[in-house]
Amino acid sequence: MKFRIPFLILLMFLLPMLGNAQKQKMLVYDFNNTLADTSNKRVPLAELEKPGYFATDTIKELGGIAKKVYCFGLNSGIAFDNAEAGKPIREGYSIEIYFKLDMYNAWKRVLDFKNKKSDTGPYIYLRKVSFYKYGSADMKPIQPGNYIHYIFTRDSASQNSQIFINGNLIYQFKDSLKLATLDKYNYLNLFHDNMSMGNEASAGKIALLKVYDHVVTKEKVKENFDQLVPTFKALNNRPEPPKQLPEVIVKGNIVDKRNGAPTPAKVNFERTSDNGLVKSIDNNPTTGDYELKLRVGQQYLFSATAKGFMGFTDVLDLSNVDGKTPIIKDIELSRMELGKTITLNRIIFKQGTPEMLSASYDELDKLVMMMKENAKMEIELSGHTDNQGNAKMNIELSEERVKAVKDYLVSNGIDKKRISGKGYGGSKPVASNATENTRKLNRRVEFVIRKY
């Protein structure tokens, strides 16, 4: 007798798998006379130190195929703007590079996660794969002037990191110190190092860069290496990517709403499409002025934070501007008020659970920043649900969600003594529970400033 799985049951199992597959993304740079990626995101790489140039190189390791490459000088590599790209390097991720370096004497930097602030990270040390401060691989030395296929992966859940060379796993370690995570500037630098020893880098050429927002499997690594020749042939034949959209100047003045005095503050701009941080700058503390450039064609959520003041947020729509006329956005900041209730509007939980979705992190990061800017600030969290279901279970759920928010704040450096909280279930609605559209307003997490 044949056992048949009902179609609906099969679909229930397949849909989550298909959903995960659709979420996985990557950016590809083929260096076909441009530092822009070949996708529609148009996120360009930035040149570090002295600008490089494009040339056609004959790759002997791949049977002599000709390929456009980017040539960079000593300590003059490139930088990937992770924030503008939508933060693919955040949870589990992979970096794939096909490159060659001219020198392998001593330490030669491959990736720099800390924006030139630390010597930690992946090197090739005396022609062997290394990650400082974890160790080096025992392997056949890499030769100067030879192209290598290099893949670095990090699984955020297990903290396991792996380095593959030419399709083979060469070195792996547990990154418990989070050395392979980006700092707050959200830039990944390649082939550039001017730290304590100075110029621990090399001139070279890069033919391919891929940035994945997930951990690629060993099978995928081997497949990518084996398919380099057809991949390069396809990339060589593709048209050049569309021209990058222009940038427009955005500027303004930040003042105290009470008296108009200039106020030192930090301004952040995020894309509304994916909450990706694009720019973060400090204004002039004396005049209150700020100025930066943003790419046109999209919407941004901009926010300002300052010590002793409430956070400010607004939406800036650059969808239909030409980039020629500066955009003026002045900001008035209100001073903190004891006892004022503030709703964390963008905190999202899985339905019926205290598990926060990653889309909540940006909202909580703003609260973390505000509490760090105001070191004496103490808050009281309150969790609320609608009135559907069992009242006792709603209270328990709201308390668990308050704990989840508190745990996130504490894990990001906020002293737990500065945070109290309570769950109220559905006992304190702010809207009617008659319809779903109004019930969702009652499902919220708020905080009250108790001290600052």
Query: Does 11 score more than 80 pLDDT?
Result: no
Read off the pTM: 0.55
Q: What is the mean pLDDT of the chain?
A: 86
Tell me the percentage of the chain whose pLDDT exceeds 70. 90
Query: Does 383 score more than 80 pLDDT?
Result: yes
Token match 């002599």: residue? 64
Query: Does 3 score more than 60 pLDDT?
Result: no
pLDDT of residue 387: 87
pLDDT of residue 416: 93
What is the pLDDT averaged over residues 135-154? Answer: 92
pLDDT of residue 41: 63
Class for the domain spanning 247-333: mainly beta
What is the pLDDT averaged over residues 221-234? Answer: 93
At 64-85, the pLDDT tens digits run 999 999 999 988 899 999 988 8
Instruction: Please report which confidence band the pLDDT of residue 197 belongs to, taking 50, 70 and 90 as the band edges.
Output: low
pLDDT of residue 242: 63
Instruction: Please report which confidence band the pLDDT of residue 374 belongs to, taking 50, 70 and 90 as the band edges.
Output: confident
Query: Does 160 score more than 90 pLDDT?
Result: yes
The CA distance from 400 to 406, in Å, is 10
Return the top range by mean pLDDT from 182-196, 221-235, 329-343, 436-450: 221-235
Query: Does 345 score more than 80 pLDDT?
Result: no
What is the pLDDT averaged over residues 373-396? Answer: 89
Instruction: Please report which confidence band the pLDDT of residue 270 belongs to, taking 50, 70 and 90 as the band edges.
Output: confident
- Backbone region of residue 334 per phi and psi (left: phi > 0; alpha: psi in -120 to 50; beta: other values): beta
Query: Does 135 score more than 60 pLDDT?
Result: yes
pLDDT of residue 256: 93
What is the pLDDT averaged over residues 296-324? Answer: 85
pLDDT of residue 18: 47
pLDDT of residue 19: 47
Instruction: Please report which confidence band the pLDDT of residue 23 belongs to, taking 50, 70 and 90 as the band edges.
Output: low
Query: Does 171 score more than 50 pLDDT?
Result: yes
At 118-132, the pLDDT tens digits run 888 999 988 899 999
pLDDT of residue 21: 46
The CA distance from 21 to 23, in Å, is 5
Picking from 22-31, 288-297, 408-417, which range would have the lowest pLDDT averaged per residue?
A: 22-31
Which residue type occupies 396?
E
Instruction: Please report which confidence band the pLDDT of residue 6 belongs to, taking 50, 70 and 90 as the band edges.
Output: low
**How many Cα atoms occupy the beta-carbon half-sphere of 38 within 13 Å?**
18
Return the top range by mean pLDDT from 125-134, 304-313, 352-361, 432-441: 125-134
Superfamily of domain 341-451 in CATH is: OmpA-like domain (3.30.1330.60)
Query: Does 143 score more than 50 pLDDT?
Result: yes
Residue 211: alpha-carbon gap to chain centroid: 12
Picking from 56-60, 159-163, 237-241, 417-421, which range would have the lowest pLDDT averaged per residue?
A: 237-241
The CA distance from 39 to 368, in Å, is 34
- Locate CATH 3.30.1330.60 in the chain: 341-451
The CA distance from 13 to 276, in Å, is 31
343-346, long-range: CB < 8 A, 24+ apart: 343/444, 343/445, 343/446, 344/405, 344/444, 344/445, 344/446, 344/447, 345/444
The CA distance from 321 to 301, in Å, is 16
Return the top range by mean pLDDT from 113-127, 241-255, 278-292: 278-292
Query: Does 308 score more than 80 pLDDT?
Result: yes
The CA distance from 237 to 89, in Å, is 29
Instruction: Please report which confidence band the pLDDT of residue 312 belongs to, taking 50, 70 and 90 as the band edges.
Output: confident
pLDDT of residue 33: 87
| 241, 36 contact by CB (below 8 A) | yes
Query: Does 361 score more than 90 pLDDT?
Result: no
What fold characterizes domain 25-237?
A: Jelly Rolls (2.60.120)
Query: Does 56 score more than 80 pLDDT?
Result: yes
- Locate CATH 2.60.40.10 in the chain: 247-333
pLDDT of residue 57: 95
